[in-house]
Amino acid sequence: MSSLKTTARYNEAKDEWVLNGTKTWITNGGLANLHVVVAQVDPALGARGHASFVVPEGTPGIAQGRKFQKLGIRASHTAEVVLEDCRVPGACLLGGKDRLDDRMARAREGVHSATQAALGTFEATRPYVGAQAVGVGRAAYEYALEYAKGRTQFGKPIIDNQAISFTLADMRTRLDAARLLVWRAAWMGRSGQPFTGAEGSQSKLFAGETAVWVTERAVQILGGAGYVRDAPVERWYRDSKIYTIFEGTSEIQRLVIARAISGMRLN
């Protein structure tokens, strides 16, 4: 967040903000009815000099840039959003100008706020990303389970082989553990409980890595049939990888958790 390049300049005479920059890896970028853009207002303040703006559909100066061709989740439109002298009314600043001025004044005086709003929002939404990952993993597990029951080799279903049955047991156990972490974090967010142990990040980290692990083993159980597009496990395997990348990589999740449980700012 502190390396943000998109800028926002306030024109007091017209009570409008002028946005310039390029956002990348944006879901529904250039297609959405509105975009929420985080921009740098005061570069000297780093992450504390940022603000968020609502850019309505049809605003001059906002356009779709390059559309990305991805490994997985190909049905999801992902593209750049280009802002060139994009002008939005002062009312499109989330939180209002007075609160922004007050926050930046405190930052210049060295007064630290408890949490950045954007980072707090990520922590609260990560359980929902974790729930998606659990769903992908569950689909792959259920498909592999039914396949193992029906596929016969040497006169018996392959699930009778201990290597296959133990793998399926581990798949189910990890999925159930991931589901419980997601349920806990979702309940905490819904009931206003503080994420003192970065429980949102815990759920997303474990669920995302579980989805990758489970789908890879589903492909392995199906063998050659899992490597071609005739069976959906090939697609779930590709789709699963994104859950260790977006909404914060697995490495970032571990950093967030480590900071939360240690009370220290770790690099």
Question: Does a structural domain hold residue 35?
Answer: yes
Q: What average pLDDT is seen over the chain?
A: 93
Regarding whether 164 and 76 lie in a shared domain, the answer is no
DSSP 170-188: HHHHHHHHHHHHHHHHHHH
The total number of structural domains that make up the chain: 2
Q: Residue 69's domain spans which residues?
A: 7-108
Taking only the tens place, the pLDDT of each residue in 194-230 is 999 999 999 999 999 999 999 999 999 999 999 999 9
Query: Residues 137, 173: contact at Cβ < 8 Å?
Result: no
Give residue-wise pLDDT tens across range 11-31: 999 999 999 999 999 999 999
| Same domain (yes/no): 246, 135 | yes
pLDDT in tens, 89-137: 999 999 999 999 999 999 888 876 555 555 556 788 999 999 999 999 9
3-state secondary structure of 73: coil
The pLDDT assigned to 2 comes to 52
Residue 48, pLDDT score: 86
Cβ–Cβ under 8 Å, residues 233 and 219: yes
Q: What is the pLDDT of residue 123?
A: 83
Would you say residue 201 lies in a domain? yes
Residues 45, 85 within the same domain? yes
- Helix axis angle, 233-240 to 117-150, nearest 10°: 160
Residue 60: what are its φ and ψ, rounded to 5°? -60, 140
Is 267 domain-assigned? no
Residues labelled catalytic: 247
- List the CATH number of the domain containing 11: 2.40.110.10
Residue 2 lies inside a defined structural domain of this protein: no
pLDDT for the residue 148: 98
Terminal Cα distance for the chain, rounded: 14
Domain end: 81, 108, 135, which one? 108
Statement: residue 180 has pLDDT above 60: yes
pLDDT tier for residue 264 given thresholds of 50, 70 and 90: confident
Residues sharing a CB contact under 8 Å with residue 163, sequence separation 6 or more, in sequence order: none
174 with 44, same domain?
A: no
CB atoms inside a 10 Å sphere around CB 142: 14
CATH number of the domain residue 180 falls in: 1.20.140.10
Can you give the pLDDT at residue 118? 53
